[in-house]
Structure 1
Amino acid sequence: MDPVIVKETLIKVLSQIQTDSGLECPPLSGAIKPVENIPKFDSNVWPVATRILATEKAEIPKDVNIFVDETTKLARTIDETAGFICDLLKKQSEQKAAAA
């Protein structure tokens, strides 16, 4: 999957969530960290964004926080999130191919 397409979809999903919630949405770019830079984007909202993204683009496990690095506990930028999703999907694809 193309990280640019994932990034564009992610930005669309984040913008829509903010609009639907009646919240301000800053201009979104690849350098923005949703957890830190989008108002009220927290652990109650990120699973919703992940599910919407999963229905539009990819199978993302429910227990994976795409917005925070599990190892460092640091928030990911939109670009980093898109790259993480692409890596995750590649690994899933490889696992399915190996199992077949």
Structure 2
Amino acid sequence: MDIAQIRSSLVEVLQTIQATSELECPPLSGNTKPMEALPEFDSKIWPVAIGMLSLKLKVQIPPDTNIFTQDGCANALTVDEIVAKVIKITEAQANESSLKANER
């Protein structure tokens, strides 16, 4: 899975959520922090966005993972940082799958 695909899917999910909620969605670039830039994008909406992205990418994002913040704190991440975080999750899952396959 490549960076462009993840970024495109993330932006599409965020735009869909804002449109469905009838809320403004400013242009989303790599430097945009969705938590700060998107109206009413809060802790009630993050899990929905994470679930939608997970389904769209066919990747299991752990339920206790907030891809929109830095691990261990509430600092908002940019779109590019979120994409990097999702890549790490997918790589970890791929490595885990490889290890399990080798154990068989």
> How high is the TM-score relative to the length of structure 1?
0.94
Structure 2 counterpart SS, 1:23 = coil
Q: CA deviation at 1:96?
A: 1.4
Structure 1 counterpart SS, 2:77 = coil
- Stretches of structure 1 that go unaligned for 5 or more consecutive residues are none
Partner of 1:8: 8
Superposition pairs of residues 9-88 of structure 1, within 5 angstroms? 9-57=9-57, 58-88=59-89
Residue type matched to 2:56 in 1? E
CA radius of gyration, larger in = 2
| Relative contact order, higher structure (CA 8 A, sep 6+) | 1
Residue type matched to 1:53 in 2? L
Distance, in Å, in 2 between the alignment partners of 1:5 and 1:76 is: 18
Residue type matched to 1:96 in 2? S
- Identity, in percent, stands at 40
Q: CA deviation at 1:71?
A: 3.0
Structure 2 counterpart SS, 1:64 = coil
C-alpha offsets along residues 46-95 of structure 1, whole Å, 9 cap, x if unaligned?
Answer: 10000000111022111110000113431110111011101111011101
- Stretches of structure 2 that go unaligned for 5 or more consecutive residues are none
